[in-house]
């Protein structure tokens, strides 16, 4: 596994600069240092908020393709081996938060690589499907456990958050969503289920009945729906998500140590271990390999629909 630390870049692109939280756009703020993993993934250090912000930009569709998963694994190793301190040209900078977010306008993440799924299912390639699923849970399990550091993880959802994207958002300690964000698990439409943590994360948060209703409905839910259910923790008005993250962090500075300890206690009580996630992935692979040609046609329709919406810019 390549865990080479990416080289820091002292200046951000204009598009990245627009997505900075208010604390970094204010006059006199220390400029962030960007860590470039690939064209699909970069992170920057926010010294004022003591936060690392991760932004992904998957291509050709905003989903978890294998190369993005490799980059995410490198990012996880980068944080875990940092011991909570990142070296910059201005000296070492400690961080207390890690934020997951998207650089794709109107989309947090659409989930699994359905094109790849179809190819592997048609060829009955059990090993490759299992490797893909494990690559997903490896990343989410590390985020769920705060990368082995005394930090808080936050997911900032702006736009569509579906399937594996929803699972990724659920793996953080705190889920903040803009009001127009939409959530759902479309897998049941093509006779599958989300197998990379959805059931484990949701059941511990909202209980079995609501979890199974949400996963099996195939519906798309609003941020307000998810707030009332207890899935989303905070709603921000559209375009104010970064500011809401900053407000959340600043309001908890005095109690941060206690809150980190409480999150650790929650994980002890809930007892989610890697073996559970891996067993679910194995069940997911078995289920996927039983899909019929009709099911695969429905999966293809979802891919085609995603491509059409992306081409028109209607995913928002």
**Could you tell me the CA-to-CA distances from 195 to 7, 105, 229, 247, 278 in Å, in that order?**
34, 26, 21, 33, 9
| Distance of alpha carbon 157 from alpha carbon 42, whole angstroms | 17
How do residues 208-265 score in pLDDT, each as one tens digit? 999 999 999 999 999 999 999 999 999 999 999 999 999 999 999 999 999 999 999 9
Q: How far does CA 213 lie from the centroid of its chain? A: 22
Confidence of residue 19 (pLDDT cuts 50, 70, 90): low
The label of the residue with tokens 């002890």 reads 268
Joined together, the tokens standing for residue 84 give: 């909570």
Kindly state the average pLDDT of the residues 44-65. Answer: 94
Contacts of 85 (CB under 8 A, 6+ apart): 92, 93, 94, 95
Of 187, 188, 185, 218, nearest to 201 (Cα)?
185
Confidence of residue 29 (pLDDT cuts 50, 70, 90): low
Q: What is the pLDDT of residue 1?
A: 38
Joined together, the tokens standing for residue 82 give: 């940092």
**In 10 A of CB 35, how many CB atoms?**
21
User: Does the structure show a pLDDT above 70 at 9?
Assistant: no
Q: Where are the alpha helices (DSSP H) in the chain?
A: 14-17, 22-25, 66-80, 114-122, 126-144, 164-170, 198-206, 208-217, 223-229, 241-251, 256-270, 274-288, 293-312
What's 259's DSSP letter?
Answer: H
Share of the chain above pLDDT 90, in %: 82
Q: What is the pLDDT of residue 88?
A: 81
User: Does the structure show a pLDDT above 60 at 27?
Assistant: no
pTM for this predicted structure: 0.90
Share of the chain above pLDDT 70, in %: 89
Q: Which CATH architecture has domain 8-312?
A: Alpha-Beta Complex (3.90)
- What SS3 class is residue 27? coil
Of 43, 47, 52, nearest to 31 (Cα)?
47
Could you tell me if 163 and 111 are in contact, meaning their C-beta atoms sit under 8 angstroms apart?
Answer: yes
How do residues 85-132 score in pLDDT, each as one tens digit? 998 878 899 999 999 999 999 999 999 999 999 999 999 999 999 999
**Could you tell me the CA-to-CA distances from 315 to 85, 203, 213, 246, 303 in Å, in that order?**
37, 29, 25, 26, 13
Q: What is the pLDDT of residue 4?
A: 53
| Distance of alpha carbon 7 from alpha carbon 16, whole angstroms | 17
Q: What is the pLDDT of residue 205?
A: 96
Higher pLDDT, 165 or 23: 165
The label of the residue with tokens 């990012």 reads 75
- What SS3 class is residue 147? helix
Q: What is the pLDDT of residue 33?
A: 82
Tell me the pLDDT of the chain averaged across its residues.
90
Confidence of residue 14 (pLDDT cuts 50, 70, 90): very low
Phi and psi angles of residue 284, each rounded to the nearest 5 degrees, phi first = -65, -45
- What SS3 class is residue 234? strand
How do residues 169-199 score in pLDDT, each as one tens digit? 999 999 999 999 999 999 999 999 999 999 9
For the chain, give every domain's residue range: 8-312
The region of weakest confidence among 34-48, 231-245, 302-316 is: 302-316
| Distance of alpha carbon 117 from alpha carbon 195, whole angstroms | 13
Kindly state the average pLDDT of the residues 138-144. Answer: 98
| Distance of alpha carbon 231 from alpha carbon 184, whole angstroms | 12
């Amino acid at each position: 596994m390549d865990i080479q630390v990416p080289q820091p870049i002292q200046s951000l692109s204009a598009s990245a600069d627009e997505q900075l939280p208010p604390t970094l756009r204010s006059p006199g703020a220390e400029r962030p240092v960007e860590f470039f993993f690939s064209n699909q993934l970069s992170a920057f250090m926010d010294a004022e908020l003591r936060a690392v912000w991760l932004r992904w930009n998957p291509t050709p569709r905003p989903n978890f393709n294998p190369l993005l998963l490799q980059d995410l694994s490198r990012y996880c190793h980068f944080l875990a081996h940092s011991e909570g301190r990142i070296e910059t040209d201005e000296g070492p900078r400690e961080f207390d938060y890690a934020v997951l977010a998207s650089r794709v306008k109107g989309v947090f993440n659409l989930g699994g690589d359905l094109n790849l799924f179809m190819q592997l299912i048609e060829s009955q390639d059990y090993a490759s499907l299992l490797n893909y699923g494990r690559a997903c849970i490896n990343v989410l399990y590390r985020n769920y456990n705060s990368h082995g550091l005394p930090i808080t993880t936050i997911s900032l959802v702006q736009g569509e958050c579906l399937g594996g994207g929803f699972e990724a958002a659920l793996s953080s300690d705190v889920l903040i969503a803009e009001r127009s964000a939409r959530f759902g698990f479309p897998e049941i439409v093509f006779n599958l289920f989300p197998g990379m943590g959805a059931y484990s994360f949701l059941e511990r948060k909202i209980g079995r009945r609501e979890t199974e209703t949400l996963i099996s409905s195939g519906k798309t839910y609003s941020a307000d729906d998810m707030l009332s259910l207890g899935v989303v923790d905070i709603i921000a008005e559209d375009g104010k998500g970064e500011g809401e993250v900053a407000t959340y962090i600043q309001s908890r500075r005095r109690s941060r140590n206690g809150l980190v300890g409480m999150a650790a206690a929650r994980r002890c009580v809930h007892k989610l271990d890697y073996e559970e996630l891996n067993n679910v992935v194995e069940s997911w692979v078995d289920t996927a390999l039983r899909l019929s040609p009709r099911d695969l046609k429905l999966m293809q329709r979802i891919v085609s629909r995603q491509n059409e919406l992306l081409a028109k810019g209607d995913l928002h």
